[in-house]
């Protein structure tokens, strides 16, 4: 058992909620809008240090000034998250130490599966970037640091571009930071995509039971640090007019290929879903390999989107993991009902 319990106070719609987890599978059942996903969100925040859905001020229950999450691990360790809306300040308490950000040693890996993930193949480039940023950030601390620094430099550069008077020299230091951290992100992304591709077809075939071939491609406009810097400098006038940075690794894309052609439009709905499930299985394998920890699996109402075969496959593959899932209909007689007295 990784998680023993989680307690919520003023977290979204929950004034007070306590979840006692089962060692293997815990099922939260309730109608849409009753707060099931919010419980998963609170667990994610206590284990990863941030929400997967929103910023803190959007999480606080209406007409209250704070929220609190207390997660107890199976070994007795407790991580507490407290957010004060008045000061817009969040603190974590772990091992009797207060901190503004959850330390790496206090984090625990999670594989999160949301209904929108099933649309990953056909989603926007932004949606795919966000998905893989979250996945790769959990696999590599270096990736998370580089992404945060790149985004900070990008934000500063964009703010300068919006000023009435700005010249290319004003942007030089931010251009250098973008190229440096952009190169780190490219190298990490390229490496992770190669790792995924080593297993993707094999795992996909084990789910779909056919001989199709699937592949992920990492697509970037950027070709090395010096080229990146040159393109930023050459594109200054255009960016100044637009008011934002139009070139960089923040515009990278990921494509899925099915039997040699783009999967979006060529693969059936069932084939696409088998690809995404295969990707989740590989993510869990990579997390286990990189961290040495068996990830907790959070399944947010995905069973209703899958047929019986893929449901069984999902449960079978994650049978060694602790699973916390949400559903509108109970799958067993041990379900915990949310939104009912």
Distance of CA 319 to the CA centre of its chain: 22
Domain encompassing residue 139: 118-292
Percent with pLDDT over 70 in the chain: 98
Q: DSSP secondary structure string, 61-100?
A: PTT-SEEEEEEEETTS-EEEEEEETTTTEEEEEETTEEES
| Mean pLDDT score across all residues of the chain | 94
Residues 153 and 54 in one domain: no
Same domain (yes/no): 137, 259: yes
Specify whether 10 is located in the same domain as 44: yes
Q: Do 70 and 124 reside in the same domain of the chain?
A: no
Regarding whether 77 and 52 lie in a shared domain, the answer is yes
- pLDDT confidence tier of residue 332, bands split at 50, 70 and 90: low
- For residue 341, the model assigns a pLDDT of 39
Is 287 in the same domain as 195?
A: yes
Residue 278: give its domain's CATH number: 1.20.1050.90
- Token digits of residue 199: 């297993």
SS3 assignment, position 216: strand
279 and 300 co-located in one domain: no
Verify that 127 and 270 share a domain, yes or no: yes
Q: What is the pLDDT of residues 280-309, one digit of tens each?
A: 999 999 999 999 999 999 999 998 889 888
Residues 126 and 189 in one domain: yes
Question: Are 253 and 145 in a shared domain?
Answer: yes
Same domain as 155, residue 225? yes
338: in domain: yes
**Is residue 21 in a domain?**
yes
CA 11 to chain centre: 20
- Using pLDDT thresholds of 50, 70 and 90, give the confidence band for residue 334: low
Domain-terminating residue out of 277, 292, 307: 292
């Amino acid at each position: 058992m990784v998680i023993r319990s989680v307690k919520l106070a003023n977290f979204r719609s929950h004034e007070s909620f306590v979840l006692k987890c089962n060692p293997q599978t815990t099922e939260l059942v309730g109608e849409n809008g009753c707060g099931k996903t919010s419980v998963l969100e609170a667990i994610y925040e206590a284990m990863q240090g941030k929400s997967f859905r929103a910023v803190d001020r959007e999480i606080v229950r209406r007409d209250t000034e704070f929220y609190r999450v207390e997660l107890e691990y199976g070994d007795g360790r407790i991580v507490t998250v407290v957010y004060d809306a008045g000061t817009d300040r969040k603190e974590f308490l772990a091992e009797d130490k207060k901190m503004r950000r959850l330390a790496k040693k206090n984090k625990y890996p999670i594989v999160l599966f949301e209904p929108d993930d099933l649309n990953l193949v056909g989603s926007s480039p932004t949606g795919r970037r966000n998905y893989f940023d979250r996945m790769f950030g959990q696999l590599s601390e270096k990736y998370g640091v580089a992404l945060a620094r790149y985004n900070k430099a990008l934000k500063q550069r964009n703010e300068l571009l919006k000023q009435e008077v700005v010249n290319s020299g004003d942007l030089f230091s931010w251009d250098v930071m973008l190229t440096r951290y952009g190169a780190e992100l490219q190298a990490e992304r390229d490496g992770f995509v190669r790792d995924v591709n080593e297993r993707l077809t094999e795992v996909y075939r084990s789910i779909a039971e056919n001989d199709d071939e699937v592949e992920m491609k990492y697509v970037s406009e950027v070709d090395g640090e010096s080229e990146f810097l040159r393109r930023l400098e050459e594109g200054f006038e255009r960016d100044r007019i637009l008011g934002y940075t139009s070139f960089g690794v923040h515009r990278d894309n990921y494509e899925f290929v099915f039997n040699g052609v783009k999967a979006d439009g060529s693969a059936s709905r069932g084939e696409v879903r088998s690809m995404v499930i295969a990707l989740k299985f590989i993510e869990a394998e990579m997390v286990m390999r990189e961290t040495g920890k068996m990830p907790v699996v959070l399944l947010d109402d995905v069973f209703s989107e899958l047929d019986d075969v893929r449901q069984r496959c999902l449960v079978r593959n994650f049978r060694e993991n602790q699973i916390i899932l949400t559903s509108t209909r109970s799958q067993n007689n041990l379900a915990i009902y949310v939104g009912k007295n």
